[in-house]
Every structure is written in structure tokens, then in C-alpha cells.
Amino acid sequence: MGEWRAYAALFGGRLRSATAYRTSFAVELVTNAAGTLIDVVTVFVLYRAAASVGGFTLDEALMMTGITAFAFVLADLTVGNIDQLETYVRTGRLDAVLVRPLAVLPQLMLADLPLRKLMRLAVGISVLGLALGRNDIDWTPARALLLVSAPVSGAVFFGAIFVLSAATAFWWVDSGKLGHGFTYGGRDFTSYPITVYGSWFRTAFAYALGFGFVSYQPALTLLGRPDPLGLPSWAGYLSPLVALAAVSVAAVVWRSGVRHYRSTGS
């Protein structure tokens, strides 16, 4: 239990640091919320030009955008700042983390917790709510469960992607924005029906990396639409398993990353 109190204290410290400059923090809160809004506005703008994109209407696409927006925001808020690992490795600040009596990953997460992204959560939930309002969903207990499990699993999945991307820095310090291709790129990928993507690109992102199960498959199942790409409707319920697999891979990679850091230093 002592450890939890320690983490709670770190969280409290982060909270007080973030609010040390109130005006700056307020501006960042608003700006960040607007950031998520822009992703959604983009979807609306594109649908202004075409009634159907990739065989889906705006309302159907919003279901995917909504699940992604909520899931990504949740992940970004909790583990998003792990991409600062690069700086920690480069400057050797990771050493200072390693001499504390706590695990490395939660320390890093809590030390930089991006509270400025808090308002994004509201935007993410609103988009999902909007999508639910604009679609006529035939509610069943399974679908109700899916409405909860899909965003949560999506968040866990994105969290794993954040950790995996950040862990690149253990081996390649100058990997810079490489990870953004998968974190923010993954968010963009899952904001649209995956039918829009070319076949090899889709196969790589949706099935090999697993992004297809974040929002596309659950949205189809919620909407009761058959998958034009041929997966059965129960594929929509696979997101927790996919998330679990991603977390396992991320855990292994993270651990071997820390081990690698310890054998090579910065």
C-alpha cells in the first residue's frame, strides 16, 4: 500500500506544479480542447464534400471518430507524455528516476502527467455522445457493454502504442518524431472507416498492428452493419483481447528497453 501512497503523492505534486501558473494552464487547457475539436471538424469538412466516404455516411463515420476521440484522449492524458522519455535518456535525467524506490514507468507517467489535456476528455465524450445521438442503435446488453469496453480497450491499446513508441528512445535516442507516426498516426487512421485505405496499408495498420479493432470493428457491431471487408460481427468484441496483446508486447519491450539502458547507459 505504501507504494500507492507514494504514487498518489507524485500525482499531487504534478497537480500543484501544473497549476503553479494559473493563466498559462488555463490557456493550455482551452487550446488542447480545441485541438481535439479540430480533428472532429476535419471529419465534418471532408463530409461536406462527399455524402459517403469509403462507403460510410457522416453519422456512421462519427461513431468511429467518437470511439477514437474518447479512447485516444484517455490514453494521451494518462500515458501520452511518456514520449518525453527521449529527453530523459538524452539528458540523463532517467538516472535520477532510477535511484528512487519506485518503478520507472509510473514515475515517468506521473512526473509529466499532461493535465493540460484534461478538457480534451470532455470533447472526446461529447463526440461519442453526438455519434450515439445521430445513429439509430438497436440496443442489446452486449452492445451496451461494447459501448464501454471499446473506448476503454482503445485507450489501453493507444497507451501501449505510446509506451512502445517512446521505448524506441532506449535504443535510438534520436528517434524523435518516429513514434508520432503510430500514436497520432494511429489516431488519424482510426478516425475514419478503414475501407478508405489502400489494401496493403490497411492490412498493416488495421490487422497486423491491430488498429482496426480500436474503433472500426466495434463501431460496425454497434451500428449493426456487416463489415464490407468480411470480418464477422463478433470481431467488434475483440478489442479487449487486442489491447491485452498490445500491452503484453509493450511490457516486454519496455522492460528490455530499461535493461538495455542499464547495460549501455546514456
Partner 1 sequence: MDALDASVPAISPRRPISASVATFRALVGSGFRRYATYRQATLAGTFTNIVFGFLRCYVLLAVAAGAAGGAPGGYDARQLATFVWVGQGLLNVVGIWGWADLADRIRTGDIVADLVRPISPVTAYLAADLGRACHALLTRVGPPVLVGALFFPLATPSRWQTVPLFAVSVLLAVIGSFACRYLINATAYWLNDARGPLAFWTLGSGVLAGLYFPLRLLPEWATVTLWVATPLPGLLQTPLDVLIERDPPALQAGLVALQAVWAVVMLALARWVQRRAERRLVVQGG
Partner 2 sequence: MIEMRELRKNFTVRVKAGRLRREKREVAAVDGVSLSIARGEMVGYIGPNGAGKSTTLKMLTGVLAPTSGEVSVCGLRPVPQRTRLALRIGVVFGQRSQLWWDLPLRESFRLLRHVYRVPAAEHAARLRRCQELLDLGDFLDTPVRQLSLGQRMRGELTAALLHGPEVLFLDEPTIGLDVVSKQAVRSFLGELGRAGDVTLVLTTHDLADIERLCRRLVVIDHGHVVHDGTIEQLHARYGSRRRLVADLDTPLPPGFTLPGATLTSTEADGHRVTFTLESIAAGAAVAALVGAVPVRDLSVVEPEIEDVVARLYTDVSGAP
Residues that bind partner 2 (CB under 8 A): 2, 5-6, 8-10, 12-13, 16-17, 20-21, 91-93, 95-96, 98-103, 259, 262-265
- We find the least distance from the C-beta atom of residue 94 to partner 2, in angstroms, to be 8
User: Can you tell me which of 7, 14, 17, 54 binds partner 1, judged by CB under 8 A?
Assistant: 54
Select from partner 2, partner 1, none the partner in contact with residue 95, using the beta carbon and a kind-dependent cut-off of 5 to 8 Å: partner 2
Report if residue 197 touches partner 1, rule: CB under 8 A.
yes
Contact status: 188 vs partner 1 (CB under 8 A): yes
The rounded distance, in Å, linking the Cα atoms of 139 and 36 is 28
What DSSP designation does 53 have?
E
Specify the stretch interacting with partner 1 by CB under 8 A; choose among 3-11, 71-79, 177-185, 244-252: 177-185
- CA separation for the pair 21, 25 (Å, rounded): 6
Q: Which of 7, 118, 134, 185 binds partner 1 (CB under 8 A)?
A: 185
* 135 in Cβ contact with 60 (< 8 Å): yes
Residue with the three cell numbers 524506441: 168
Q: Minimal CA–CA distance to 29: which of 114, 126, 89?
A: 114
State the CB neighbour count (10 A cutoff) for residue 4: 8
35 or 106, CB closer to partner 1? 35
Applying CB under 8 A, the span of 102-110, 145-153, 173-181, 232-240 interacting with partner 1 comes to 173-181
Strands 56-57 and 52-53: antiparallel
For 217-252, give the secondary structure using H, E and C. HHHHHHHCCCCCCCCCHHHHHHHHHHHHHHHHHHHH
76 lines the binding site for partner 1 (CB under 8 A) = no
Q: Are 46 and 133 in contact (CB under 8 A)?
A: no
Using CB under 8 A as the binding criterion, the count of chain residues that bind partner 1 stands at 39
Interaction between residue 48 and partner 1 (CB under 8 A): yes
Interface positions with partner 1 (CB under 8 A):
21, 23-24, 27-28, 31-32, 34-35, 38, 41-42, 45-46, 48-54, 172, 174-178, 180-182, 185, 188-189, 192, 195-198, 201
